[in-house]
Each structure stands twice: as structure tokens, then as C-alpha cells.
Amino acid sequence: MGILKNFPLINFVPFIRLVALALAVAGNAVAAGDSGYSVVARWPIGSNDKWDYLIVDAPRHHLFLARATRVQVIDLDSGKLVGEIPNTAGAHGIALAHDLHRGFISNGKADSVTVFDLDTLATIGEIKISGSDPDAIIYDEPSHHIYAFNGHSNSTTVIDAAMAREIGTIPLPGSPEFAVSDGAGHVFVNVEDKSLVARIDVAKGVVQSSWSLGSCIEPTGIALDRARNRLFSVCHNEIMIVSDSESGRRITELAIGKHVDAAAFDPILELVFCSNGDSADVSVIGAQSGDHYTMRGGLATVKGSKTMALDTATHRIYVPAMSADGLQILVAAPR
């Protein structure tokens, strides 16, 4: 006690919290073993320019990868480049409207969204939007709405996907990161600078509610277990917050890796994934019934590999990784 009394309480509490998280990571690693996933292929993509988000088009066996000025299209069977969508300045993300045979790309530097044909990969047009720096982008199929989340204007632009035109803007309570639709009238978006989740009412076009993510700092990726109404928000202070998508109640938090960006959920295998750029791994978490979550382990990647895509049809994950010969895609599958 003679040593402890020299530490002010305001400094000692965060220290205890850091120790607890470190012990949680160590405990998870010992108890859970390996992730159950392994890298089965490495696809050379070439070039050293920046990349951002990627998404799987399972019906067409394509993987779309946003680069600095274009979107590359990779064949999921061969791992070869089969096409490219050009003139996407500051491309961040891709949303797929399978029912309309269209894709949508957020162009952060151009304040626009590129529309392309999923079958031919030909550009259909470019929508100039009122928001600034569109980043994350998703499709809500029941409403046929595209949501482009604007990093510099704290808003989301709503686009009629069939008409390919902007139909509204929804103000957000802070700077948006990634988002997910529940397919039942709601869109959920992480608010990075406020450590919140905002719940958008699709029909009314407003933020219906928002809730705190507690100890989370700078939430980025988000994923959803629709069957159990559970949201998974991953945070830059190396934790993942599980919350109830209906009430906003925080369920639990788990330790993850450093500099996380993307998150995904596999409803068949009941696994949550998040890609961690600085710890060079993908955290794999079991999401069993009864709100029981277990760290399965980490899949080794490459430092800087902070984005990924999940193919729920094959259960494979795809992680961009820089090598001496340029960018490659790490393909990982369950063993």
C-alpha cells in the first residue's frame, strides 16, 4: 500500500484497465488456440498505390478492390485481374445492388459516386453529390437506396439506386465510419469522433436514435448478426464492442488487435472477423448463442493489412497485403 498511495487515482484506473486488457489478450490466446483459418493462396495484384475497401460479388465470382484512382476486379476462381473501373478519384468503397445488376463506388476526392454495370463492368455514369468526401458506402436492398457516408460533412447521402440520383441527405451526430443495413428498415453507422452508433430509420430518412459505445475509442468497422440483433463495432483502442441493435444496450467487449479497420460476420459459422493493420493479423471470434463470445485466435497477415472482405458462400476471407513485388491478396479459408 505504501507504493500504491503514490499513484493518483485518475492515472491508476486507466493503468488497471490496460493491464486487464493485456491479460484478456493473453488469456484468449492460451484458451482458444489458433484461429481455425489458414492462408491458402496469395494472389499478386501489382502496383504500390493505396488501397481501401474490398467486397465480394459471390454470384459473379468477382472481388472488387478500391485503389487510389480505380477499382480493380479479380476473378475468385483464378485470382487473376479480369477488369478495371477507371476514373474513381480517391475511391474508398464499393456497394453492390445485385437485384439491379449495378455497382456503386464512393469517390472521396471527387465528391461523387460512380455507377457501373456488374455484368459488363462498364461505367454507367457518375453522380455528383452534395456531401463532402464520401467514404463508406452500402446498399439497402429493400428500399433500393445507396447510402454514401461523408467524412467531411458529417452526413450520409441517400441515392435512388434504380434512378441513379441523389434523393436526400441525412445529418449525422459526428464523423461517420463504416455502416451496415439490417434489411428491415434500419441502417447502423459508427460515429468515429463521438464513439457512438447511429441508427437510421430508412423510411423516414432520419437518425432514429444513437447510443454510446462506452470505452470504445474511434470505432471503424461494423458488422451485424441479424438473427440475434447483435452489432459488432471495432475500435482503435484494441477492443470490440457488442451491442443490441434494437435497444443499444452494450452486451460485452473483447480484446482485439492494433489499428483495426474492417469487420465482418459469418452467420453460418457464427464467427466475427476484424482485420488489424499494426498487429498484422485478423482476429477471429466465435459468436455462440447466449451472448457467449470467445477469441478463437489470430490469422497472421502483413503489417498494414487493415481491410478485408468475407465471402459468406465459401467462408473465405480476402486481405490485401503489400509485398516487395507490390500488392497481393491473401486468401484464407477454414481448415
Domain limits, the chain: 12-334
Alpha carbons 253 and 234: distance in angstroms, whole number:
10
Percent of the chain beyond pLDDT 70? 90
Q: How far is CA 315 from the centre of its chain?
A: 16
Tell me the whole-structure pTM to 2 decimals: 0.89
Is the pLDDT assigned to residue 78 strictly greater than 60?
A: yes
What pLDDT score was predicted for residue 107? 98
Is the pLDDT assigned to residue 6 strictly greater than 50?
A: no
Class of residue 168 by CB neighbours under 10 A (exposed 0-12, middle 13-18, buried 19+):
middle
Contact predicate 254/23, CB 8 Å = no
Q: Name which of 5-19, 214-228, 292-306 the model is least confident about.
A: 5-19
Average pLDDT across the chain, whole number: 91
pLDDT tier for residue 284 given thresholds of 50, 70 and 90: very high
When pLDDT is averaged across residues 273-279 and rounded to a whole number, the result is: 97
Q: Say which CATH superfamily domain 12-334 falls into.
A: YVTN repeat-like/Quinoprotein amine dehydrogenase (2.130.10.10)
**What are the phi and psi torsion angles at 217 (to 5°)?**
-120, 125
User: What is the number of helices (H) and of strands (E) in the chain?
Assistant: 1, 28
pLDDT, tens only, 118-174: 999 999 999 999 999 999 999 999 999 999 999 999 999 999 999 999 999 999 999
